[in-house]
Structure 1
Amino acid sequence: MVFKLLGGTMNRRMVYRSFEVWLFVLGAAGINALFRTLFLVPRMGEHTAHVVSMMMLIIVVLMFSSILVNRFLKGYENLDLFLIGLLWVGLTVCFDFLFGHYVMKHSWASLLNDYNVLAGRIWIAVLTAELVGPWFMASDRK
């Protein structure tokens, strides 16, 4: 397995558990998007609603990161936590582009715009939280 080649202790159970928790993050992100569209945008405008929504999602990511590493996983190393974060970012970016383009019918340019920090989009902060969240929230880092 690729994780063993990189020197971590990550096993199949860790990968499966990480994927399961990511599915909950995905569900929470969907609820967050609905909340942003229905309640935040009409009250605060698109940009402010985007920022508030992304901050809420970062909190959710950190909460689920904490649950994963402090309740479900045992015997991990720092490299394992980084690999979990990398897995989450990869899954999220793939889902974002595939679902956004093929299901929601957004253009590729529109999807890429969410990654443009210079345009005030802070989606990249959520991906950063996914990448470092498992390590940051671990109470038993090695």
Structure 2
Amino acid sequence: MIVLAVINGTARDLWYKNYTGELAARQISTITLLLLFAVYIWFLIKKYPPTTSEQAITIGTLWLILTLVFEFGMGYMSGKTWPQMLEDYNIVKGRLWVLIPIWVAFAPYLFFRILKE
């Protein structure tokens, strides 16, 4: 998922951010990453299905923790402050990034339930 996120962010910065502006580019980038993650997570859950709902929830919880550790760890290492890092999670200001960790946490269970039927 890290590779998908890096490719997605690179595409945003190199291709369309100059045309859309920062906020719209981040919104587009968030939506495209949600879609990329959906395909990737669907594939993983189909190929390596959890055996129980609890296992699917555990996978989502672990991915959530790893996502947040990576996100804030990289932000900290690059010298960002906590307010700067939390800015992307402010949905009131049009920042949609909070949907990424929510999706990463919820998608394994959702796809497990869909594929189980």
What is the count of residue pairs matched by the alignment? 115
What secondary structure does 1:114 align onto?
helix
Task: Provide the C-alpha distance between the structure 1 equivalents of 2:43 and 2:21, rounded to a whole number of angstroms.
Answer: 33
Shift of 1:73: 2.9
Q: TM-score, normalised by structure 1?
A: 0.76
Q: Which runs of 5+ in 1 are unaligned?
A: 1-24
Task: Answer 1 or 2: which has greater helix percent.
Answer: 2
The equivalent of 2:99 in structure 1 is 125
What secondary structure does 2:95 align onto?
coil
Q: Does 1:31 align with 2:4?
A: no
Task: Provide the C-alpha distance between the structure 1 equivalents of 2:98 and 2:45, rounded to a whole number of angstroms.
Answer: 22
Letter aligned with residue 123 of structure 1: W
The equivalent of 1:42 in structure 2 is 18
Structure 2 counterparts to residues 1-142 of structure 1, below 5 A = 25-73=1-49, 76-102=51-77, 104-138=78-112, 139-140=115-116
Task: Provide the C-alpha distance between the structure 1 equivalents of 2:54 and 2:16, rounded to a whole number of angstroms.
Answer: 38
Q: TM-score, normalised by structure 2?
A: 0.91
The one-character-per-residue Cα deviations of 1:9-35 (angstroms, maximum 9, x if unpaired) are xxxxxxxxxxxxxxxx11110111111
Shift of 1:66: 0.8
Runs (4+) off by over 2 Å: none
Q: Which runs of 5+ in 2 are unaligned?
A: none
